């Protein structure tokens, strides 16, 4: 065995040598137009066995899109999406690249493709003013999964506004066929307003320089891959994720809760690593991960720097459908601990935000939005039914304690927390409710309006102005968020 190992190592290193930069010769046959796809879709395999000339046409579009429900942002995009269009070629292909800068855009842009061998990865040859286009050609010498991004000054701002995507250079023999391929890319965003603050948000340069993102998300927005937009698969299938990290600042500790990666091509390289729980994806890097699905249910994709998942948006869902396999897992859907409010549609929150902006927010709007938010935050303790847990978490349903409180004292509970004795419906509680001041003014207003109008409580309404006033006039306990 001892004598056998070194020869295995030599064989492995010979293999990797064959797999690095190679010129497979001149393109053959008719030029091919590359199929570009929007995330989370991946173009089909090239299924080619000879190098070709591949034409890629990518348009830069500056556009307003949602960053969260009720929150918009002016993204700068490659192909109209964040991340940008997925590009798939084969090792040895000669790529004729056309970059168009939409005439309605305000900024010049260019592209640096990490799969290009040449100064700037194409950046210098692709600098393009609005209403113009540029063209350059490169040969894809190395296989792998590569990030591309804009590299126009200020580079951080262009990347921070969503200008990145993935380029797959298939090995000459192609990738092993799988049942599903998906395109997932993490990015950090910096806004003047707080996380989930409603309305149009501006880029915050100082937060970006300080590397203190407001949002860390997959595929360009909070909830881009949750609810109705979740990724899907069936049991007994193989899933391959192309996972990129656009940054601009953060490194991703990419993890799928409840799955183990059978195979990871770490950093997008050629060496395969097996049986991985969490893979590190650098800013400006990518990985290919593969796993086999056995047990049905919801699998949560996260950046395991976990506050980013639950408080900044870095959370996506893969729904696996199929029959239970009790020999592998006893059953029961992933609980709300891991899903939070992403298990439900956030549409009511967006509806309420729109109504508030238009100046016609109704109590039913607030109740619907508040219910959604309650289920992601308060329900962990007070339960979805509002009944609480006897002796531990007091009920909010028909609470005689809530009924006695002034509106300001009620607002103060989620805003500043509560400690010490209180009696609800004849039962004593002496515990701690942590301040939930990371919630915005409108979120607290909507949650409390929902509580007041649910489960037999007396009704009433809390406005975001009331919450804002109390926030300004009362101190947060030490350690609480703003
Ligand atoms: Cu740009």
3-state secondary structure 265-289: EHHHCCCEEEEECEEEECCCEEEEE
| pLDDT computed for residue 124 by the predictor | 86
Could you please report the per-residue DSSP string of 384-430?
TTS--BTTTB---TT-HHHHHS-HHHHHHHHHH-EEEEEEETTEEEE
| Cα 76 to averaged position of ligand 1 atoms, centre (Å) | 7
| Cα 255 to averaged position of ligand 1 atoms, centre (Å) | 30
| pLDDT computed for residue 105 by the predictor | 95
Strands 315-321 and 231-234: parallel
| Cα 60 to averaged position of ligand 1 atoms, centre (Å) | 8
- Residue 447 contacts residue 373 (beta carbons within 8 Å): yes
- Residue 79 contacts residue 165 (beta carbons within 8 Å): yes
| Cα 149 to averaged position of ligand 1 atoms, centre (Å) | 8
State pTM to two decimals: 0.86
Provide the β-strand partners of residue 299. Answer: 318
| Cα 214 to averaged position of ligand 1 atoms, centre (Å) | 21
Q: In what order do the strands lie in the sheet with 272-276?
A: 215-218, 180-189, 238-247, 285-292, 261-265, 272-276
| Cα 165 to averaged position of ligand 1 atoms, centre (Å) | 12
User: Phi first, then psi: what are they for 351, rounded to 5°?
Assistant: -60, -45
- Residue 324 contacts residue 272 (beta carbons within 8 Å): no
| pLDDT computed for residue 17 by the predictor | 42
| Cα 188 to averaged position of ligand 1 atoms, centre (Å) | 16
- Residue 190 contacts residue 208 (beta carbons within 8 Å): yes
| Cα 291 to averaged position of ligand 1 atoms, centre (Å) | 35
| Cα 121 to averaged position of ligand 1 atoms, centre (Å) | 14
| Cα 61 to averaged position of ligand 1 atoms, centre (Å) | 10
| Cα 202 to averaged position of ligand 1 atoms, centre (Å) | 16
Low-confidence ranges of the chain (pLDDT < 70): 1-19, 331-337, 339-344
Give the Cβ contact number of residue 38 at 10 Å.
Answer: 16
- Residue among 392, 347, 390, 382 at smallest CA distance from 454: 382
* H helical segments located in 110-187: 155-160
Q: Give, to the nearest 10 degrees, the angle between helix 441-452 and helix 347-358.
A: 110
| Cα 222 to averaged position of ligand 1 atoms, centre (Å) | 22
| Cα 1 to averaged position of ligand 1 atoms, centre (Å) | 55
| Cα 95 to averaged position of ligand 1 atoms, centre (Å) | 21
| pLDDT computed for residue 126 by the predictor | 92
| Cα 179 to averaged position of ligand 1 atoms, centre (Å) | 35
* Angle at alpha carbon of residue 136, lines to 133 and 141, rounded to 5°: 145
| pLDDT computed for residue 227 by the predictor | 87
| pLDDT computed for residue 15 by the predictor | 44
| pLDDT computed for residue 286 by the predictor | 98
* Angle at alpha carbon of residue 226, lines to 177 and 183, rounded to 5°: 30
Alpha carbon dihedral 251, 257, 263, 266, in 10-degree steps, equals: 0
Q: With the C-alpha atoms ordered 220, 226, 232, 234, is the resulting torsion angle positive or negative? A: positive
| Cα 98 to averaged position of ligand 1 atoms, centre (Å) | 15
| pLDDT computed for residue 448 by the predictor | 98
| pLDDT computed for residue 449 by the predictor | 98
| pLDDT computed for residue 20 by the predictor | 82
Strands 53-68 and 71-78: antiparallel
| Cα 338 to averaged position of ligand 1 atoms, centre (Å) | 36
| Cα 197 to averaged position of ligand 1 atoms, centre (Å) | 26
**What contacts 245, CB < 8 A, 6 or more positions away?**
147, 185, 186, 187, 251, 252, 281, 282, 283, 284, 285, 286
Give the Cβ contact number of residue 15 at 10 Å.
Answer: 11
Tokens representing residue 37 in the block: 């796809």
| Cα 228 to averaged position of ligand 1 atoms, centre (Å) | 31
- Calpha distance 52→136 (Å, rounded): 16
| Cα 375 to averaged position of ligand 1 atoms, centre (Å) | 39
- Residue 430 contacts residue 421 (beta carbons within 8 Å): yes
| pLDDT computed for residue 337 by the predictor | 62
- Residue among 190, 201, 117 at smallest CA distance from 159: 190
């Amino acid at each position: 065995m001892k004598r056998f190992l070194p020869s295995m190592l030599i064989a492995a290193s010979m293999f990797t040598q064959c797999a690095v930069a190679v010129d497979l010769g001149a393109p053959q046959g008719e030029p091919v137009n590359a199929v570009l796809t929007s995330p989370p879709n991946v173009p089909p395999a090239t299924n080619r066995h000879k190098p070709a000339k591949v034409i890629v046409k990518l348009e830069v579009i500056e556009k307003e899109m949602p960053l969260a429900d009720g929150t918009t942002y002016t993204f700068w995009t490659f192909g109209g999406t964040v991340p940008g269009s997925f590009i798939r070629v084969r090792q040895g292909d000669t790529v004729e690249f056309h970059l168009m800068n939409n005439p309605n855009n305000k900024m010049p842009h260019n592209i640096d493709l990490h799969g290009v061998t040449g100064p700037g990865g194409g950046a210098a040859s692709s600098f393009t003013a609005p209403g113009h286009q540029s063209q350059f050609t490169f040969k894809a010498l190395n296989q792998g999964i590569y990030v591309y991004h804009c590299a126009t000054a200020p580079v951080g701002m262009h990347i921070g506004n969503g200008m990145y995507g993935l380029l797959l250079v298939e090995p000459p023999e192609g990738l092993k066929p799988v049942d599903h391929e998906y395109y997932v890319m993490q990015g950090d965003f910096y806004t003047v307003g707080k996380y989930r603050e409603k309305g149009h948000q501006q880029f915050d340069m100082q937060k970006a320089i300080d590397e203190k993102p407001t949002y860390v998300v997959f595929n360009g927005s909070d909830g881009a891959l949750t609810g109705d937009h979740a990724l899907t698969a069936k049991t007994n299938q193989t899933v391959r994720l192309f996972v990129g990290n656009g940054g601009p600042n953060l490194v991703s500790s990419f993890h799928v809760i409840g799955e183990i990666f059978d195979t990871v091509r770490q950093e997008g390289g050629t060496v395969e690593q097996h049986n991985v729980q969490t893979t590190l994806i650098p800013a400006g890097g990518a990985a290919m991960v593969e796993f086999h699905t056995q047990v049905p249910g919801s699998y949560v994709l996260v950046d395991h720097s976990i506050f980013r998942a639950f408080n900044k948006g870095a959370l996506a869902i893969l729904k696996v459908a199929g029959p239970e396999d009790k020999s592998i897992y006893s059953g029961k859907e992933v609980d709300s601990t891991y899903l939070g409010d992403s298990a439900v549609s956030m549409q009511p929150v967006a509806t309420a935000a729109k109504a508030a902006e238009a100046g016609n927010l109704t109590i039913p709007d607030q109740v619907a939005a508040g219910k959604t938010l309650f289920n992601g935050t308060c329900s962990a303790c007070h339960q979805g039914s509002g009944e609480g847990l006897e002796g531990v978490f007091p009920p909010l349903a028909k609470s005689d304690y809530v009924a006695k409180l002034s509106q300001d004292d009620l607002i103060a509970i989620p805003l500043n927390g509560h400690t010490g004795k209180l009696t609800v419906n004849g039962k004593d509680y002496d515990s701690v409710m942590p301040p939930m001041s990371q919630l915005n003014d409108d979120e607290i207003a909507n949650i409390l309006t929902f509580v007041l109008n649910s489960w037999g409580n007396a009704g009433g309404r809390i406005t975001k102005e009331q919450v804002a006033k109390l926030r300004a006039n009362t101190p947060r306990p030490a350690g609480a968020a703003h």
